[in-house]
Structures are given as structure tokens and as C-alpha cells.
Amino acid sequence: MLIRTFVLMLLMPFWGRKWVFLVSMTAAEKSKDERSESDDGSNQKGGPMVRVPGMALLWRRAVSLLVEQEVAARRAMAKKRVVQDGDETIIRDFSIFTTARGDALFTQSWRPVDGEIRGLVILLHGLNEHSERYSNFAKKLNANGFNVYGMDWIGHGGSDGLHAYVHSLDDAVCDLKSFIGRVLTENPGLPCFCFGHSTGAAIILKAALDPKVEACISGIVVTSPAVGVQPSHPIHSILAPIVSLLLPRHQVGAANKNGSVVSRDPEALLAKYSDPLVYTGSIRVRTGYEILRIASYLQQNLRRLRVPFLVLHGTADRVTDPDASMKFYEEASATDKTIRLLEGHLQYLLFEPEPEREAIMKEIIEWLKCRVEREVGNRSYFSSFSSMHLKGI
């Protein structure tokens, strides 16, 4: 990679010259054609036109078409899974959420058929996966009185973009903010919580640093947050900013078809890496750089976090750093904060073997229910206080 980067940097000045030469040649040819057409009296009025090299244009169109076809296939599969869910105790639905940039994101919801709704949970998946993978967890939340909403962030699941390619995680942060606003509009008056895993957790944490988001969410639960992420070699940190500009979509290393060990449950690993909506290739350069960038930002700014939160991290996690989660817990300004480092657990805590998986889900749900009861209690207190104040007591 170092040799490739060096060669590409040497060639960069010549790329511009070659492009100008091509444009000037085609422009000259165009002028000649225009003079010929003018002699025939068939020339139409209009601005100057510059020809783009045919091969470059065809290549871009071909790539764009392939990406569109891939997105269509992924989105059709995501929709099919929602429609074919046969669980009669819940209501499944999906929608396409259009971002301010014009990208179409696949979103879905899980809502209980019966029972009182106590709150909302917005799910954000990790890198290379999608929201449908958390369907079992969402149904357990339904059983405890929560409406659940999931969003496939850009380049993932049924959403627009080259699979697992993220040009900017800041875009994903902005998309999450907009999605939270839409969910709150549809469910006025209910406390809203966010759950995120790994890179999804990092996106949520950065969004929560915005005072507007902080004011409208009641708490955050994160598993294996990508607060501390180390590249496989120190040189990658140096090269990442350069290579991400030159070859943003390039995959680092050979394809990872067998997948990394992120769970101690063989069946969970098989389900993950045989899922067509899960990206199993090597990480794309720009995506990797964006993860390093957001992790660095969070390490410098998480002391500003004031939203109540719960952090769960496995001590055997080799993808994200449990020590960084402990540092984040210690530095955050939130007065209501909890961390649990789970001995021997790997990265995907909600996909660990039973009974650990069930215990982790139960702990998250109990934490959420406790915050809902506390918030309802606070609202009742302030409502009573306001009534007393109005009566002049």
C-alpha cells in the first residue's frame, strides 16, 4: 500500500495535464464541427460545449448502474424480510427515508399489537450489517412496552450507496438526527432512547453531543462502541487520509469471506456471514478512515456528553477497545452513567451464546424501564408542582 500510494502521488500532477489536453483537443474538434454546421445553416444557438472522453463516461455510467442494481436487490430483500415476518404479536412496517442530500435510506419499525407503549427505542446497527439483524432484540423491547425503529445507514442494508462504503460518517450523524426528529413527530410525548452497536454507537454518541439531540432523548445504550479503534498497522493511520482521497472505494487486503470471530456462538457467526445483506468483503479505505476519524473526535469530545448512558463491552473484544470504553465512561459529564465490562465476551454481545445473550438483553431492558419510570415520576412531580403553584400554594 505504501508503494502504491507513493506512485499515485507522483502521478497526480500529470493527471490534471492529461485531462486539460483531452478537453482542449475535443474542444478544438468541436469548434471545427460547429463551423461546418454553421456553413450548412443548421447550427443551433447555445453555450460552448466540452466533450468528455467517451471511455471515462461509459465507465462511470457502468459503475453507477451496477451500484443501483445492487441497491435495488438489497432493498427488495430488506422489504421482503419485513413483509414475511409472521409474528402476530407485533406490527412490522418499513419506509424509505430521504435525506437532505437526496439519498434514500431504508427504515423499519417494530410495534406491539397490544399493551401500553412506555417509550421509544431507535436502533443503529454496526459496520457491514443492517437493522434487521436486531429483530429479536426489537421484539423483546416490544414485549416490554417499547416501539422500536431501525435505520440502515448509508451504504448498508436496504439503503442507497455502494455496499459498506461510507464517504462521510458525518452524513450518517446528520441522517440519524433527522430520523430521530421524524420518530418523535410520529410519537409525541414518549421518552426516546437510542441503542447503537460499534460504529453505530459512535454515530449515536456524536449526535448526542448536539444540544438539540441531547434535549429530546432520555438515554443511550451502546455495546462495544467504536471509541477506541486501532488500525492493523500504525502506518495505516498515516496513509489513511491520503489513500482515502486517491482510492476511497479500494478494499484493504483480500476479501474476508470467512469473517472475523466476533461471537462465541458458531450459529450466530454462520447466520451473520451467510446473510447477503451483510458485507463480508475487506473494509473500504474511505470507510476505515472515517471510523478512525470519528473515534478520534469522540476521544477528544466525550467529556461533553451529558445524556444518561449504559455501556456494555466484552473484555475479549479485538475489534473495538474495552479500555477506551472505560476511559469514555470516566470522562463523560453525565451524572447518570453505567458501564459493564463482560469478562471473556467478544464484540457482538447481543449474539453471544445463551444464557449470556438473554441476560445482556434483560439488563438493557431493565435499564431502559428504570429510566422511563424515573422520567414519568419526574413529569408527575413537576405537573403537581405546577398545579400547586397555579393555585397559589
* Domain ranges (residues) in the chain: 58-377
**DSSP secondary structure string for all residues of 237-288:** HHHHHHHHHHSTT-B-SS--SS-----S-HHHHHHHHT-TTS--SPPBHHHH
Query: What is the percent of the chain where pLDDT is above 70?
Result: 77
Residues of the chain short of pLDDT 50, as ranges, are: 13-46, 254-258, 381-393
Which pTM does this prediction carry? 0.82
Q: What is the pLDDT of residues 119-175, one digit of tens each?
A: 999 999 999 999 999 999 999 999 999 999 999 999 999 999 999 999 999 999 999
- Dihedral sign computed on CA atoms, order 233, 237, 242, 243: positive
Q: Which fold has domain 58-377?
A: Rossmann fold (3.40.50)
Task: Enumerate residues 6+ apart whose C-beta is below 8 A from 303.
Answer: 331, 332, 333
Across the chain, mean pLDDT equals 84
Note the pLDDT of residue 56: 61
Percent helix, strand and coil across the chain, each to the nearest 5: 50, 15, 35
Distance from the first to the final alpha carbon of the chain? 74
Q: Write out pLDDT tens, residues 71-96.
A: 999 999 999 999 999 999 999 999 99
pLDDT of residue 136: 97
